[in-house]
Structure 1
């Protein structure tokens, strides 16, 4: 599936640096970054769900941390 990715000059520069560091094209670097972020997010979500089940008060603690960051 084709998609257009619009980047600011700073974002494009970051992608160029990432691609260079990985020895890949900018396209491949973007794809890898998306896959890595998705895997990390989904994995983190599974860990959080398990922690909520096993640790009493986890939801309240998460809410308190979110409030303190705001």
Structure 2
């Protein structure tokens, strides 16, 4: 799917610098940045799900240990 992305001159210069430093196209740098952000979002969601299941199980122990 085609897309138009409008960047400030400063952001475009940063993107040029990243692409040159990594030996990648600007498109590839943006694609990888998107994939990284998406992965982080889903890791945070997964962590939240795990904590929601695990914390209640150990709440008594955590209360006895007190604040750190």
Q: Equivalent residue for 1:5?
A: 5
User: Aligned residues, how many?
Assistant: 57
CA deviations 1:5-64 (Å, max 9, x no partner) are 11112211221122122210101111111111111111121112211221248xxxxxxx
Q: Equivalent residue for 2:64?
A: none
Spell out the pairing of 1:1-70 with structure 2 (5 A cutoff): 1-56=1-56
Give the alignment's Cα RMSD to 1 decimal: 1.6
Segments ≥4 residues shifted beyond 2 Å: none
Give 5+ residue unaligned stretches, structure 2.
60-68
In the alignment, the residues of structure 1 paired with residue 4 and residue 19 of structure 2 have an alpha-carbon distance, to the nearest angstrom, of 18
Q: TM-score, normalised by structure 2?
A: 0.70
In the alignment, the residues of structure 2 paired with residue 13 and residue 37 of structure 1 have an alpha-carbon distance, to the nearest angstrom, of 21
Give 5+ residue unaligned stretches, structure 1.
58-70
